[in-house]
């Protein structure tokens, strides 16, 4: 047996040991969003028929937490190992680039799903929610987390300093999630912005995820699934190519 | 020892290894064969390329040209086998602040696919005097303690070839002795040891064979004994009953102070000649002290020459 199970275990242990910061904090953040937006806007806004704004918001917040935390896990773990130099302990053993990819992405997915589940468990106390199609919920959550885990790994491979990861988070991940329809249905946007939203891959992740809850969405869910699956295939191929080439990790 | 048949497997074999960092030629064609069971020293001034060479052997850095094999396994195409054969103690004091000493060693075992390795981990911790720190977080250890954990990490998978990149930097005398005792034992048990150090007396005492690296090239490669005999001179300390040395000595004068002279001699013939000239001039020798050749002397001469 190779090093994969241990590397996965180490990655899980790493965020679990500081779960206050890696799980509890993002759950609280999502809850604050819910309180501020849902109660401020209340019943004046309605995105779908039969769906209150608070109900509409919860799946968006859950998915946003899944995505942001999946990204944060792989990117921060790798950059920490690079900056502190302990990456050498994972580079010396006979761990293949596939095992490396698998361990980092899977651990990211677990962190994303744990936080997402946490957000869901906390918010259902405040909002009445039914799940129309659980399989779609799970499928989009898994794929979304995998995509952001792989993206975080790419960012971690590329970056040399913590600030570069922070910049990636603030200037790429955050705008893309906020503008993807977490807080609104894109049908409420002007035509130009609606069209622009369709260029944002995060839109399909959130829209498909939301379909799982309400059975309605802005975009056909199968088409969203196709976009998300292709995004995952492209990103993981790119990441695997980087890892295989040794780019930045094995000069 | 080195001149084996072509079929012989070397512990480490490097062929024309080059490494360029932009315009810098960190390694400019290094070829080296280290036999199984050797205790080998890799010496050279700062920036000579020792760590770069070790990193290439370990697969941490890819060579710009050339090939390296560990126990016959190519470090690029057969990396799974070559890395299993190799234990490396890195020069930098690195650690993962999330884990304790025991967790660190268990994780490192797991990376090599070893799931139940606690008996060996305990033994290694015992030899490196780490038992009392087993459950301490890595962050709380002193520098020397962290260095010991690095050594332990390199040994978790019982590699036949062990490379130590300045393992005794910042380590106290007690541990240094203990560490060398342990490494020597591993060597007696058949492990090949490769060592870099700036403490030359350490290398002289431990290493069977030594390579000296300068600016990415090997400038000397021989058994420690041959190096001492070929390159090293003698240092002669002399006190005469007068303030001047006789003329025409085949020796380099290092210092002279009120009848006390320190001379560097090429060999014992030069000593004969000095004594002869002193007698000829009628001077009397009050004191005479001869220092045996040491590796530091060899090192300085080799570096001067290249
Ligand atoms: N990643 C890198 N990028 C650019 N130059 C590098 C890199 N790593 C090493 N070098 C350069 O390569 C040369 C050899 O460095 P190396 O670390 O191998 O020396 P060394 O013999 O181990 O020295 P020391 O005794 O100080 O440890 C140095 O000039 C160094 O600056
Ligand atoms: Mg070095």
Is A1 close to B95, i.e. CB distance below 8 A?
no
Q: Is B68 found in the same domain as B18?
A: yes
pLDDT tens-digit readout, B4-23? 455 578 999 999 999 999 99
Q: Is position B255 within any domain? A: yes
Q: Ligand 2 centre and the CA of A80: distance in Å? A: 22
Disruptive mutation site among A8, A92, A245 for chain B (greatest number of B CBs within 10 Å)? A92
Higher pLDDT, B60 or B278: B60
Give the pLDDT score at B7.
58
pLDDT band at B174 (very low <50, low <70, confident <90, very high): confident
Cα–Cα dist B69/B85, whole Å = 10
How many angstroms does the Cα of residue B94 sit away from the middle of ligand 2? 14
First to last CA, chain B: 26
CB-defined contacts A:B, below 8 A: 76
CB spacing of A14 vs B113 below 8 angstroms: no
B42 forms bridges with which residues in the sheet?
B196, B211
Q: Could you tell me if B143 and B153 lie in one domain?
A: yes
**Distance from C-alpha of A19 to C-alpha of A30, rounded to nearest angstrom:** 16
Are B58 and B122 found together in one domain? no
B84 Cβ under 8 Å from any chain A Cβ: yes
Q: Which atom of ligand 1 is closest in space to residue B53's alpha carbon?
A: 18
Q: Are residues B121 and B182 in the same domain?
A: no
pTM of the model: 0.90
Least CB–CB distance from A3: residue in B60, B62, B113: B113
Give per-residue pLDDT as tens, A52-73.
Answer: 888 999 999 999 999 999 999 9
Task: Please tell me the predicted confidence (pLDDT) of residue B259.
Answer: 81
**Ligand 1: residues within 6 Å at CB?**
A 251; B 21, 24, 26, 44, 46-52, 91
Residue B92 lies in a domain: no
Give yes or no: residues B79 and B170 share one domain. yes
Nearest of B24, B90, B8, B14 to residue B57 by alpha carbon: B14
Task: Give the pairing of strands B65-70 and B73-74.
Answer: antiparallel
Q: How far apart are CA A121 and CA A43, in angstroms?
A: 23
Whole-number Å distance, alpha carbon A97 to ligand 2 midpoint, is 27
A50 or A244: which leads in pLDDT: A244
Contacts of residue B137, Cβ cutoff 8 Å, sequence gap at least 6 = B97, B99, B100
pLDDT value of position B4: 47
Domain extent, residue B287, equals: 233-294
B110:A81 CB<8 A: no
Nearest to A89 by CA among A10, A161, A150: A10
Q: Measure in Å the smallest separation between the Cα of A161 and chain B Cα atoms.
A: 17
**At B182, phi and psi to the nearest 5?**
-65, -45
Centre of ligand 2 from the C-alpha of residue B53, in Å: 9
Give contacts of A78 with chain B, Cβ < 8 Å: none
CATH classification at residue B177: 3.40.50.300
Give a yes or no: residue B3 inside a domain. Answer: no
**Looking at CA atoms only, how far is residue A73 from chain B in angstroms?**
14
* Ligand 1 centroid – CA A7 distance (Å): 29
pLDDT confidence of residue B6: 52
Residues B227 and B184 in one domain: yes
Q: A153: distance to nearest CA of chain B, Å?
A: 19
Tell me which of B157, B187, B202 is where a domain ends.
B157
Q: Do B146 and B254 belong together in one domain? A: no
Q: How large is the average pLDDT for residues A149-177?
A: 96
* C-alpha separations of A106 from A67, A74, A114, A137, B80 in Å: 13, 9, 12, 18, 23
What mean pLDDT is predicted for residues B86-101? 96
Distance B51 CA to ligand 2 centre (A): 4
CB atoms within 10 A of CB A164: 15
Q: How far is A244 from chain B (nearest CA, A)?
A: 11
* Shared domain check, B275 and B142: no
Residues B118, B222, single domain; the answer is: no
Structurally, how many domains does chain B consist of?
3
| Residue B235: band (very low, low, confident or very high) from pLDDT cuts 50, 70, 90 | confident
Report whether pLDDT(B2) > 80. Answer: no
Is B265 within a domain?
A: yes
Is the pLDDT at A179 greater than 80? The verdict is yes
Inspect the interface and report whether the beta carbons of A91 and B60 lie closer than 8 Å: yes
pLDDT in tens, B219-234: 999 999 888 887 767 8
Which of B157, B183, B208 is a domain's end point?
Answer: B157
Distance B49 CA to ligand 1 centre (A): 6
pLDDT at B258: 78
Q: CA of B151: how far to CAs of A108, A233, B59, B130, B182, in Å? A: 31, 41, 18, 11, 11
Specify whether B148 is located in the same domain as B81.
no
Taking each helix axis from N to C end, the angle separating B101-111 and B143-155, rounded to the nearest 10 degrees, works out to 30
Closest ligand 1 atom to Cα of B213: 21
Distances (CA, A) of B267 to A38, A53, B176, B251: 92, 94, 33, 10
Q: For residues B163 and B149, state if they share a domain.
A: no
What is the CATH number for B289? 3.30.70
The residue whose CA is least distant from atom 3 of ligand 1 is B21
Cβ <8 Å between A84 and B96: yes
B237 with B106, same domain?
no
**Smallest CA separation from ligand 1 atom 12, residue:** B26
Among B141, B157, B173, the domain boundary falls at: B157
Which residues of chain A have a Cβ shorter than 8 Å from any chain B Cβ?
A: 1-3, 5-7, 9-10, 13-14, 17-18, 81, 84-86, 88-96, 246, 250-251
The span from the CA of B238 to the CA of A212, in Å, is 95
Query: Is B239 in the A-facing interface, judged by CB distances under 8 Å?
Result: no
Which of B83, B110, B117, B153 is the best mutation test for A, with the most CBs of A within 10 A? B110
Residue among A6, A250, A251 minimizing CB distance to B111 = A6
Say if B110 is an interface residue toward chain A (CB within 8 Å). Answer: yes
Across the interface, of A85, A95, A246, the residue whose CB is closest to B111 is: A95
Mean pLDDT of A22-33: 94
Within a 10 A sphere around the Cβ of A66, how many other Cβ atoms? 31
- Is residue B1 very low, low, confident or very high in pLDDT (cuts 50, 70, 90)? very low
Report yes or no: B199 at the A interface, CB cutoff 8 Å.
Answer: no
- Distance, in Å, from the CA atom of A235 to the CA atom of A202, rounded to the nearest integer, reads 13
Instruction: Look at ligand 1, atom 28, and give the residue with the nearest C-alpha.
Output: B47
Length of chain B: 306
Name the residue among A9, A14, A91 with its Cβ closest to that of B98. A14
Nearest ligand to the C-alpha of residue B52?
1
The pLDDT tens digits of the residues spanning A117-134 come to 999 999 999 899 989 999
């Amino acid at each position: 047996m190779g090093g994969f199970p241990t590397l996965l275990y180490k990655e899980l242990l790493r965020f679990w040991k500081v779960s206050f910061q890696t799980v509890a904090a993002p759950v609280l953040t999502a809850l604050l969003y819910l309180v501020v937006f849902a109660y401020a806007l209340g019943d004046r806004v309605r995105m779908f028929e039969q769906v209150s704004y608070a109900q509409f918001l919860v799946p968006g917040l859950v998915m946003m937490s899944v995505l942001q935390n999946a990204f944060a896990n792989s990117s921060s773990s790798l950059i920490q190992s690079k900056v502190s130099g302990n990456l050498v302990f994972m580079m010396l053993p006979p761990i293949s680039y596939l095992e490396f990819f698998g361990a980092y992405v899977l651990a990211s997915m677990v962190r994303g799903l744990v936080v997402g589940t946490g957000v869901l468990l906390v918010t259902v106390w405040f909002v009445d929610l039914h799940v129309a199609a659980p399989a779609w919920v799970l499928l989009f959550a898994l794929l979304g987390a995998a995509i952001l885990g792989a993206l975080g790994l790419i960012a971690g491979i590329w970056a040399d300093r913590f600030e570069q990861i922070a910049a990636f988070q603030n200037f790429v991940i955050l705008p893309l999630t906020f503008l993807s329809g977490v807080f609104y249905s894109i049908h409420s946007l002007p035509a130009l912005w609606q069209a622009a939203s369709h260029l944002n891959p995060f839109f399909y992740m959130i829209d498909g995820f939301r379909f799982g809850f309400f059975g309605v969405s802005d975009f056909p869910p199968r088409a969203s699934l196709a976009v998300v699956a292709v995004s995952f295939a492209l990103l993981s191929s790119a990441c695997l190519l980087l890892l295989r080439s040794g780019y930045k990790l094995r000069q | 020892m080195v001149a084996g048949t072509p079929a012989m497997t070397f512990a480490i074999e490097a062929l024309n290894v080059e490494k360029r960092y932009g315009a810098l030629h960190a390694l400019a064609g290094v070829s080296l064969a280290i036999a199984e069971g050797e205790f080998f020293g890799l010496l050279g001034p700062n920036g000579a390329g020792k760590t770069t060479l070790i990193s290439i052997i370990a697969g941490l850095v890819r060579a710009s040209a050339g090939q390296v094999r560990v126990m016959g396994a190519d470090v690029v195409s057969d990396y799974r086998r070559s890395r299993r054969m190799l234990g490396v103690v890195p020069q930098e004091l690195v650690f993962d602040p999330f884990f304790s000493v025991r967790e660190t060693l268990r994780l490192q075992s797991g990376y090599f696919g070893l799931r139940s390795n606690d008996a060996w981990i305990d033994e290694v911790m015992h030899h490196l005097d780490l038992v009392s720190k087993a459950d301490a977080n890595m962050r709380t250890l002193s520098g020397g303690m962290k260095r010991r954990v690095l050594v332990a990490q390199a040994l978790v998978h019982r590699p036949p070839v062990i490379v130590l990149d300045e393992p005794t930097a910042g380590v106290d005398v007690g541990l240094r002795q203990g560490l060398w005792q342990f490494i020597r034992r591993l060597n007696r048990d058949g492990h090949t040891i490769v060592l870099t150090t700036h403490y030359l007396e350490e290398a002289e005492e431990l290493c069977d064979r030594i390579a000296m690296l300068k600016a990415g090239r090997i400038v000397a490669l021989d058994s420690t004994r041959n190096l001492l005999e070929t390159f090293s001179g003698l240092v002669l300390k002399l006190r005469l009953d007068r303030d001047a040395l006789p003329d025409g000595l085949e020796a380099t004068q290092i210092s002279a102070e009120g009848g006390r002279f320190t001379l560097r001699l090429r060999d014992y013939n030069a000593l004969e000649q000095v004594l002869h000239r002193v007698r000829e001039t009628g001077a009397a020798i009050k004191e005479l002290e001869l220092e045996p050749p040491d590796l530091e002397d060899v090192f300085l001469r080799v570096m001067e020459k290249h």
